[in-house]
A and B are shown apart, each in its own frame.
Chain A
Amino acid sequence: MPVDLVPPVLVPPVLDPTFGDPRARELAAATAQGDTALLRRVAAEDGDADRRSFLLGVAVDHPGRPDWMARWPEDEPDEPLAHLTRGVHGIAWAWEARGTARAESTGSDRFHEFSQRLAQAERDLLRAAELAPDDPEPWAYLVTTARGLQHGTGELCRRFAEVVARCPWHYRAHAMMLQGVAPKWSGSTRLMFNFARDRAAAAPEGSPLVALVVEAHTEAWLDDPAPESGHFADPAVRGELRAVAARLRQAPDAPMTPALARARNLLAFGFSQGNEPDSAAEQFAAIGPHVTESPWHYLPRDIVESFTEARNRAVKP
């Protein structure tokens, strides 16, 4: 079966936050100009919560703090989208101040600015949640602020429960929660794997959420990253990764969404690190050009370079 999927592999990988989606591109261009008309239409659409979440993420993906975003909640205090937009952007803006180093290598000035921005983001998100009580999106991001502001494990879980009460299989919320329950934030190895396995096992067929397990293994791999002999080389880990791949195979016609692309990137990464070229090749074939930042950013080289190198090793022409 993997052999049939080889041809698309040759497509050059592209790190594109819009995933080539025309609507997402249009939205990114409009919000770069401070035009919120399309964003309002997208936010008002019901239906696919993960797609809506992806588009909202694209809309706020601008460096610094754009003026329109800073002003919007003051101009329209009763508009939930205004608070949600500034809150979601505030999280990335906070991490811009912090940098991506672990806490012990981050200076106190950066930490102070990080906490200030994150606390403001949390206030915006809580307001958005209050104004739009049925929307899971503010709660999904409140899961992230809970870990950044160190509200504790119980509060993290409470917020996640608020998301699943509104949308049981919200991809972004699960990915954020996995980070929160990881030992490096508010959790533990046991909690992280229990969470990942429990949600993956219960997720609907073909759901990218099954790859939460791979993400948990990636966290474990960070502590044991030796190539070919590290965490992913463990036969039990390789077996579980194959189980994840098998579950994704059960829905062969599932459209390539940003969430699915990320799930397959995680699998490709895990199989590459565990030296399972055939299993990796299957994932690379399905990924096509859609390289995602995570988990390749954990490798020391450029994301696209790391991805291409791993793909070349897996798919020998």
Chain B
Amino acid sequence: MAASPRRPGTVLLGLRALLGVVLLFGFYVLVVMLLVLVLGTMVALAVLFHAVFRQSGNYFLWLMLGVSGGGASLMRGAFGRMRSNRDALPDGIRVTEADQPRLWAEVRELADEVRAPVPGMILIIPEANAAVHQRVRMFGLVRGRVTLAIGAALLSTLDRAELRAVLAHEFGHVSGGDMRLGPLVYRSQHRLERTVAALRASEKKLDTHLARVIGVYLRLCLRVTLAVSRAQERAADLSAARVAGPEATASALTATVEMTRLYGEFMGRFVLPLWKAGRYPTDLYGGLRAFAADPARQEEIEKFREELLTEPTGRWDSHPGHGERLALLAASPAGPPPGAAMTGTARDLLDRPDDLERVISMVFARLATGLDDPVPVDWDGAAEVYVREITRSSAALADAGIRVGGRWDVPGFDQALELLAAGRGAELVSGSAARSVPGGEPDPEAVRRLRGAVAVAFTAVLAAEHGGVWKTSWTAGARLEWSGTPVAELVDLVMDGPDGVAAVRAELGRPAVDLTPVPPLEEPVHAG
């Protein structure tokens, strides 16, 4: 659904926010009304029962209560205790003004420009995100200290103008007063969702009906609060555009969304396997920068940007669609001309950025692995961890070589080469006689599997016995470097038959092996 082009003014926005809060509070009124309705109906039925059957209605009342649950789940959901996480801050490293004076100066300057209070604390968090937290009391009337959390994944990849836009956007939320009712809205919404979930989980029929009523109410509230949230985002974007310029703001928006996705992929592919092995990358963010800049990534990024632009704003989204946000920025008045101070990267603002990034990577790994002392590793050393799986699967061809070749005392790889030379390669992947499709052609699927198994086996043998070295590759995860014929060509050669196998053996200095079966034992011949 396309978003409304009408942007509410501050007063209207405030009124809508207030409506959201009123609706959320209305939930309690609704709960009380429903409880009165349920209990009243039961009492009325009990009285009726007594009047008609001339028997004590007490039993009937209790029976009804037992059957319906009497809205117990409703009571628990609405009034039960809730764990408070109002003041919880994200996991990060606190940097003082003495640690990072230029970053603090930038933050201070931007807060002033947006007329937001200067944060009392800056936390560097690992991910590609930035956020402000503000303690509020008395329903938002009393506002406390502001904490700014900046993601190292942004600090290490954005340029300086983009970082300013990101920070101005966040401070826009503070100066716009979005933080006043934020926690309250969050908690009330959470309570509503919890109540609906509790009622749905109950097996009693009445609870299911109550869940439907509260569910409709929850959707009504969300329609209002999410619309407010989207409006607040638009206002914060405009606030950022005024300070940092619409171009830098648009660029920062795109870069942040893109980096969130890249960061997730990077962590999954390159960092998680290290954590699982009890290690952490000393240069996590250098790796992230190299990963993002890798040529293999550029096509993905282009495609992602196109998809991003066409994504519509949904009525249940907390943020407007990316295309809508960029359109809004394009239509906003030009900002101040970028001064000389605004050039360079965000990372330039940091003192000893390498040290900071290393510490973040270590602290993050401690949190993720639960280990006190995860082992530091550089990116080339990391390749060894990535290839463990390859090494494990490389045993498949060698094992098959031994099983099919039948020699316990000859390396399985050499037996596999011998079988390939003899045209018996298919037995290595199927474990049985060569499969073929009608017409005598080899089964293409079996050939594909054999090629894959042979390639993996080659990399393992080259690394273990022929001086090959595994290097981290931002394209493929890990890449084997060795001085001889490239692996793909070696695979082509051995798949080609006896001459190719002979050429590979000559290059690697590996012997031909005799796979003639050992003859049965014979009775000794006795003289005479």
- The chain A residues found within 8 Å of chain B, CB to CB, are 152-155, 157, 160-161, 177, 181, 186-188, 190-191, 193-195, 197-198, 200-201, 210, 213, 236, 239-240, 242-244, 246-247, 250
> Is B519 located at the chain interface by the 8 A CB criterion?
yes
Whether the Cβ atoms of B524 and A190 lie closer than 8 Å is no
B residues less than 8 Å from A246 (CB atoms): 523-524
Whether the Cβ atoms of A201 and B518 lie closer than 8 Å is yes
Query: Could you list 27 A-B pairs, sorted by A, with CB under 8 Å?
Result: A153-B402, A154-B412, A155-B395, A186-B403, A187-B403, A188-B404, A188-B406, A190-B403, A190-B404, A190-B406, A190-B517, A191-B405, A193-B517, A194-B407, A194-B517, A197-B519, A198-B408, A200-B521, A201-B518, A201-B521, A239-B520, A239-B523, A240-B520, A240-B521, A243-B521, A243-B524, A250-B524
Q: Which residue of B lies closest to A245 (CB)?
A: B523
Whether the Cβ atoms of B403 and A191 lie closer than 8 Å is yes
CB distance from A163 to the nearest CB of B (A): 12
- From A161, A190, A198, A243, B523 is in contact (CB under 8 Å) with A243
User: Known contacts being A160-B408, A187-B403, A191-B402, is A197 close to B395, with CB within 8 Å?
Assistant: no
Q: Is the interface of A mostly helix, strand, loop or mixed?
A: helix
Q: Which residue of A lies closest to B396 (CB)?
A: A152
B residues less than 8 Å from A240 (CB atoms): 520-522
Whether the Cβ atoms of A195 and B408 lie closer than 8 Å is yes
> Is B167 located at the chain interface by the 8 A CB criterion?
no
B residues less than 8 Å from A213 (CB atoms): 520-521
Whether the Cβ atoms of B408 and A181 lie closer than 8 Å is yes
> Is B409 located at the chain interface by the 8 A CB criterion?
yes
B residues less than 8 Å from A188 (CB atoms): 403-404, 406
Ordered nearest first, which 8 A-B pairs have the shortest CB separation? Answer: A190-B406, A243-B521, A153-B399, A197-B518, A188-B403, A243-B523, A194-B406, A153-B402
- 16 further interface pairs, Cβ-Cβ under 8 Å (given A161-B409, A201-B518, A247-B521): A152-B395, A154-B399, A186-B403, A187-B402, A190-B404, A191-B405, A191-B407, A194-B407, A194-B517, A195-B408, A213-B520, A239-B522, A239-B523, A243-B520, A244-B521, A250-B524
A residues less than 8 Å from B402 (CB atoms): 153-154, 157, 187, 191
- Complexed CA–CA distance, A243 and B405 (Å): 26
Q: Which residue of A lies closest to B400 (CB)?
A: A153
User: Known contacts being A239-B523, A247-B524, is A193 close to B518, with CB within 8 Å?
Assistant: yes
Whether the Cβ atoms of B521 and A197 lie closer than 8 Å is yes
> Is B128 located at the chain interface by the 8 A CB criterion?
no
- Complexed CA–CA distance, A50 and B272 (Å): 48
B residues less than 8 Å from A250 (CB atoms): 524
Whether the Cβ atoms of B403 and A153 lie closer than 8 Å is yes
- Complexed CA–CA distance, A230 and B408 (Å): 28
Whether the Cβ atoms of A191 and B406 lie closer than 8 Å is yes
A residues less than 8 Å from B411 (CB atoms): 154
User: Known contacts being A152-B395, A153-B399, A153-B412, is A243 close to B522, with CB within 8 Å?
Assistant: yes
User: Known contacts being A194-B517, A201-B518, is A157 close to B404, with CB within 8 Å?
Assistant: no
Q: How many residues on the B side are at the interface (Cβ–Cβ under 8 A)?
A: 22
Which of B403, B409, B524 has the most chain A CB within a 10 Å cutoff? Answer: B403
CB distance from A89 to the nearest CB of B (A): 27
- The chain B residues found within 8 Å of chain A, CB to CB, are 395-396, 398-399, 402-409, 411-412, 517-524
CB distance from A221 to the nearest CB of B (A): 15
A residues less than 8 Å from B404 (CB atoms): 188, 190
Which of A152, A181, A198, A200 has the most chain B CB within a 10 Å cutoff? Answer: A152
Which of A188, A194, A197 has the most chain B CB within a 10 Å cutoff? Answer: A194
- Complexed CA–CA distance, A195 and B407 (Å): 7
- Complexed CA–CA distance, A60 and B273 (Å): 41
A residues less than 8 Å from B407 (CB atoms): 191, 194
B residues less than 8 Å from A191 (CB atoms): 402-403, 405-408
- Complexed CA–CA distance, A246 and B525 (Å): 10
Q: Which residue of A lies closest to B522 (CB)?
A: A243
Q: Which residue of B lies closest to A195 (CB)?
A: B408
- Complexed CA–CA distance, A187 and B403 (Å): 5
A residues less than 8 Å from B519 (CB atoms): 197
- Complexed CA–CA distance, A136 and B461 (Å): 28
- Complexed CA–CA distance, A79 and B397 (Å): 39
- Complexed CA–CA distance, A213 and B522 (Å): 12
- Complexed CA–CA distance, A200 and B408 (Å): 14
CB distance from B420 to the nearest CB of A (A): 17
B residues less than 8 Å from A177 (CB atoms): 408
B residues less than 8 Å from A153 (CB atoms): 398-399, 402-403, 412
- Complexed CA–CA distance, A200 and B519 (Å): 11
CB distance from B367 to the nearest CB of A (A): 29
- Complexed CA–CA distance, A197 and B518 (Å): 6
- Complexed CA–CA distance, A190 and B396 (Å): 18
B residues less than 8 Å from A210 (CB atoms): 521
Whether the Cβ atoms of A154 and B395 lie closer than 8 Å is yes
CB distance from B67 to the nearest CB of A (A): 41
CB distance from A191 to the nearest CB of B (A): 5
Whether the Cβ atoms of B521 and A157 lie closer than 8 Å is no
